Chain A
C-alpha cells in the first residue's frame, strides 16, 4: 500500500486542532471543488483533499492513521500486522489496496470493513463519465463502449478496484451537451443496497463540414462569383447524402440558404434544418481568357457595392 501524507495534503501540522483541519479543508475545497473550480486538475486534487479530510476529521480514524506512523508520500508501507487480523480474515493482504479504501469503512473503532454494518444496506457509488460522439453517430444513434473502475469486495472481503465495461446505446435525437442517466450501472450496492447510477455527459466531436446550433446544421457553401451572380444548381453534402441545391441568381456572401429538415433529428420525429451559408470564392490564378472577361465586366458594370459609404 502506498502512503499518503494527509496532513501535508491539507497543509496542516500533525498537531493541528479539528478546527484548523476544518478551516484548511474548506479553503482548499473552495479552490479545487470540481463544481466550483474551472481548474481541470481540480477534480483529482479535490479527491485527495476530501480523502484526507474524511480521515482526519474523524477522531478515531485520525488516531488510527497516526498509528501508521510517518512515511514519505508515495512510499510502499505495511500497516502493523495486527491490522490484518482485525479485518477478520487470515488471507487479508494490504498489498494492492488503497489507503482511502482502508479508512472508508472504518468506524466505531472497528476495522472490520466487511463485517461492519452487515445488515445496513449501502447504495453503490454514482459515477459520471464523458463521451464524445460524431455528428453522424448522433444523427443515426450509436452504441458506445463505456469503461471505468469500480470498487468491489472480493471473496476475501477485500476492497478492490475492478474494471467495469459495458455497451450503451445512445438513441438518435441526442443533443450536444446532453446528459443521460443509466440506472444501476454505477458501483455495486452492498448488503442489499441499490446499485449506483452512471451519468453520461455526451458531447459532439467538431465536424469537418458542419457546425451545429440546437437542432440546426450550418455548412459553408463556396460559390464562384459567376455562380453567385447568375444562379446555379450545386451539390451540397448532408448527413443523409448529397442534395442538389438551387442557388438563386444574385446571392451574396453570408446569405443563408435553408435546406428544410436536413438538420439533426429531434425527440418528436421532426428534424432541424440545414443552412448553407454562401461564401464567394475567387480563383487565385486566372487564365488569360478569364482575365479578359473580368476586365470587360469591370469596364461595363455600373454596380457599386459601396454606395452606402458615400
Chain B
C-alpha cells in the first residue's frame, strides 16, 4: 500500500498535455493526432503553434477524455482515419450538450425548491 500524491493528474481545462503525452495516453498515433489538428477537430492550447512543429503543441488535459473515447471507437469499430475527425467533433458536441443539459436540470431543480 502506498499513498499517491505525485502521479495524480486532473483532467480539466487547467492542466496541459504535450503531443507526446497525448500519444502515449490515448493510443492514437502521431499521424492520427496531427490529422485531427489539421482538420480543426482538435485545437492546441496555443493555436499559433499549429503552424510550428507538432512538438510545440500542447492541449488541455480535458481533451484526453474525448480522445480516449475516440481511440476506443476507432479500435472497436475499425474506424478509418478520415472518420476520426468527424467522430471527435460529434463527441465534443455531445459533451457540450450534456453539460448544458445538466446545468439546465440543476437550474430547474433549484427553481422548484
Contacts of B7 in A (CB 8 A): 182-185
Q: Is B32 an interface residue (CB 8 A)?
A: no
Is B9 a contact partner of A180 (Cβ separation < 8 A)? yes
Q: Is A6 an interface residue (CB 8 A)?
A: no
Q: Which residue of A lies closest to B12 (CB)?
A: A178
Q: Which residue of B lies closest to A277 (CB)?
A: B113
Q: Which residue of A lies closest to B7 (CB)?
A: A183
Is A169 a contact partner of B9 (Cβ separation < 8 A)? no
Q: Is A168 an interface residue (CB 8 A)?
A: yes
Check A180/B11 contact, CB under 8 A, given A35-B72, A211-B109.
yes
Is B1 a contact partner of A165 (Cβ separation < 8 A)? yes
Chain B interface residue count, Cβ-Cβ cutoff 8 angstroms? 29
Q: Which residue of B lies closest to A146 (CB)?
A: B4
Contacts of A267 in B (CB 8 A): 14
Contacts of B72 in A (CB 8 A): 35
Q: Is B3 an interface residue (CB 8 A)?
A: yes
CA distance A14 to B73 in the complex (A): 27
Q: Is A308 an interface residue (CB 8 A)?
A: no
Contacts of A165 in B (CB 8 A): 1
- Which of A26, A181, A220, A277 sits near B11, CB closer than 8 Å? A181
CA distance A9 to B8 in the complex (A): 38
Contacts of A171 in B (CB 8 A): 8
Is A167 a contact partner of B8 (Cβ separation < 8 A)? no
- Which of B8, B11, B77, B106 sits near A213, CB closer than 8 Å? B106
Q: Which residue of A lies closest to B9 (CB)?
A: A181
Q: Is A197 an interface residue (CB 8 A)?
A: yes
Contacts of B10 in A (CB 8 A): 174, 178-181
Chain B proximity of A234: nearest CB distance (Å): 18
Chain B proximity of A194: nearest CB distance (Å): 7
Residues of A145-177 contacting chain B, CB below 8 A: 165-171, 174-175
Is B11 a contact partner of A218 (Cβ separation < 8 A)? no
Chain A proximity of B84: nearest CB distance (Å): 14
Q: Bin the interface of chain A by size.
A: 20 to 34
Contacts of B12 in A (CB 8 A): 175, 178-179
CA distance A211 to B14 in the complex (A): 24
CA distance A277 to B112 in the complex (A): 12
Is A33 a contact partner of B8 (Cβ separation < 8 A)? no
Chain A proximity of B74: nearest CB distance (Å): 11
Is B1 a contact partner of A33 (Cβ separation < 8 A)? no
Q: Mark B16-56, 1 if CB is under 8 A from A, else 0.
A: 00000000110000000000000000000000000000000
Chain A proximity of B108: nearest CB distance (Å): 12
Q: Is B65 an interface residue (CB 8 A)?
A: yes
Contacts of B9 in A (CB 8 A): 180-183
Q: Could you tell me which B residues sit within 8 Å of A by CB distance? A: 1-5, 7-12, 14, 24-25, 61, 64-65, 68-69, 72-73, 76-77, 103, 106-107, 109-110, 113
- Not counting A126-B68, A211-B110, a sample of 20 additional A-B residue pairs whose C-beta atoms are within 8 angstroms of each other reads A26-B77, A33-B76, A33-B77, A35-B69, A50-B76, A168-B4, A168-B8, A169-B4, A171-B8, A179-B10, A179-B65, A180-B10, A181-B8, A181-B61, A183-B7, A183-B9, A184-B7, A185-B7, A197-B25, A218-B110
Q: Could you tell me which A residues sit within 8 Å of B by CB distance? A: 26, 29, 33, 35, 50, 126, 143, 165-171, 174-175, 178-185, 194, 197, 199, 211, 213, 218, 220, 267, 277, 279
Query: 17 A–B contact pairs at CB < 8 A?
Result: A29-B76, A33-B73, A33-B76, A33-B77, A35-B69, A166-B2, A166-B4, A178-B11, A179-B11, A180-B10, A182-B8, A199-B11, A211-B106, A213-B106, A213-B107, A267-B14, A277-B110
